[in-house]
């Protein structure tokens, strides 16, 4: 088992190198059988099991019931010797558009912080399970894959993107921080692509995901049924066999000329700098020299984001580069709780209000400017909890995290 696990790890995203804006309701983890089974369906194959996200009216946005059911299914499948590998896919036009942030917003307004904590605990715990899974894991990312959708897929062994895949970590635009394992997987991308994606929330296509290492394989969405059929016929627990199957169904693809992935030199030059202010200054200098519309669009996104969120995102990615998966999730949980309890700022609540509830697109950030975001404010989000608040508990003694 240990050798299998080691092999799987070597084939993760880090070798090749959310929240989405949709919402219904976040419930407590008192999961009723019928509701849970509707939200996540199960398909049994020859030597595999398929978890099917089925909350199509919400673009499969993750809620507590889904996280709890997924975790229970994965735990049982990992213990079953007849199951060689696991696949996750989704019905509808999205894989998973992220977490259910409007419901979190409503629960915050109602003072139900414990329900919010429960959602994040269950979601982050499941993501840790995916990232330390002892069997090959295949995610079929045919559609929107944002925030929490990336968190339940990218830490796994294989990620298959398509021409319909849209990836993003847009948290700074709603006054939040890139969470759901984002500070781990983004920080392990080549160069400073992780900083660029974390700060701007820019979208990537399936081809761009392959180019930077977020996806391991690519196929046209019209061929996804063939991929599923061939995977379903496999009788194996060998990740190299699963990989071979995906490669036979895969296609060679390149980002187009307008892609951010063709501006790696500029990204590394600007986003490698030490502060958000320096990054913006460098982009403005590049824009004045080159008149590149990409620089102008990138600056616009940065100036729309929460100033506090930008500084939190930059520090989070920089710390993630030297932390294990569990350390990243524990730190992200600290940052998340400070956001939902408004200990320093109400930017998360205000960002969701402006972009998703009232939709006036005019958030009143607090602080309103980068120069007003103090180092102490940023550091307070990262500090360990005191005795009054337990840290996120992950089974690290049973499931070793990797670097």
User: Which positions are annotated as active-site residues?
Assistant: 99, 148, 171, 179
* 5-21 exposure pattern, b = at least 16 Cβ within 10 A, e = fewer: beebbebbbbebebbbb
**Helix spans in 11-100 (H):** 33-39, 64-79
Distances in Å between the Cα of 9 and the Cα atoms of 1, 23, 58 are 12, 33, 32
- 137 membership: H or E segment, kind and range: strand 137-141
Cβ neighbourhood burial of 220 (10 Å; 0-12, 13-18, 19+): middle
Number of helical H runs and strand E runs in the chain: 18, 10
Distance CA 62, CA 136 (A): 22
Q: Can you tell me the distance from the alpha carbon of 182 to that of 194, in angstroms, rounded to the nearest whole number? A: 9
Considering only CA atoms, which of 138, 171, 172 is closest in space to residue 152?
Answer: 138
DSSP code, position 143: S
Q: Tell me, what DSSP letter sits at residue 166?
A: E
DSSP 3-state of 49: strand
CA neighbours closer than 13 Å in the CB half-sphere of residue 221? 18
C-beta of residue 71 within 8 angstroms of C-beta of residue 122: yes
């Amino acid at each position: 088992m240990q050798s299998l696990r080691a092999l799987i790890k070597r084939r993760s995203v880090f070798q090749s190198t959310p929240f989405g804006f949709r919402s219904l309701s976040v419930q407590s983890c008192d999961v009723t059988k019928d509701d849970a089974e509707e939200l996540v369906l199960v398909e049994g194959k020859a030597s595999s099991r398929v978890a099917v996200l089925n909350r199509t009216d919400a673009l499969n946005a993750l809620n507590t019931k889904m996280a709890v059911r997924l975790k229970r299914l994965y735990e049982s499948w990992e213990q079953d010797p007849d199951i060689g590998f696991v696949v996750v896919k989704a019905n509808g036009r999205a894989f998973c558009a992220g977490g259910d942030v409007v419901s979190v917003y409503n629960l915050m307004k109602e003072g139900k912080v414990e329900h919010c904590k429960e959602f994040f605990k269950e979601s982050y715990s499941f993501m840790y399970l995916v990232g330390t899974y002892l069997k090959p894991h295949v995610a079929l990312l045919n559609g929107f894959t944002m925030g929490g959708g990336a968190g339940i897929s990218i830490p796994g062994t294989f990620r298959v993107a398509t021409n319909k895949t849209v990836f993003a970590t847009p948290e700074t635009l709603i006054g939040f921080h890139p969470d759901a394992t984002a500070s781990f997987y983004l920080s392990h991308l080549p160069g400073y692509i992780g900083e660029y994606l974390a700060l701007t929330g820019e979208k990537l296509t399936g081809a761009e995901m392959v180019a930077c290492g977020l996806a391991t394989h690519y196929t046209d969405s019209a061929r996804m049924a063939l991929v599923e059929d061939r995977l379903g016929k496999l009788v194996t627990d060998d990740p190299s066999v699963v990989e071979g199957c995906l490669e036979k169904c895969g296609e060679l693809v390149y980002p187009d000329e307008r892609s951010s992935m063709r501006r790696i030199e500029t990204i590394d030059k600007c986003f490698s700098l030490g502060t958000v202010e320096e990054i913006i200054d460098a982009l403005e200098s590049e824009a004045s020299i080159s008149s590149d519309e990409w620089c102008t669009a990138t600056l616009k996104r940065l100036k729309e984001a929460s100033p506090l969120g930008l500084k939190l995102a930059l520090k989070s990615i920089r710390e993630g580069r030297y932390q294990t998966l569990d350390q990243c999730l524990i730190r992200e949980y600290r940052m998340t709780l400070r956001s939902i309890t408004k200990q320093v700022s109400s930017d998360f609540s205000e960002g969701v209000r402006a972009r998703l509830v009232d939709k006036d697109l005019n958030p009143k950030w607090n602080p309103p400017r980068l120069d007003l975001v103090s180092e102490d404010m940023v550091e307070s989000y990262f500090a360990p909890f005191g005795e009054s608040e337990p840290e996120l508990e992950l089974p690290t003694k049973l499931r070793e995290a990797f670097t």
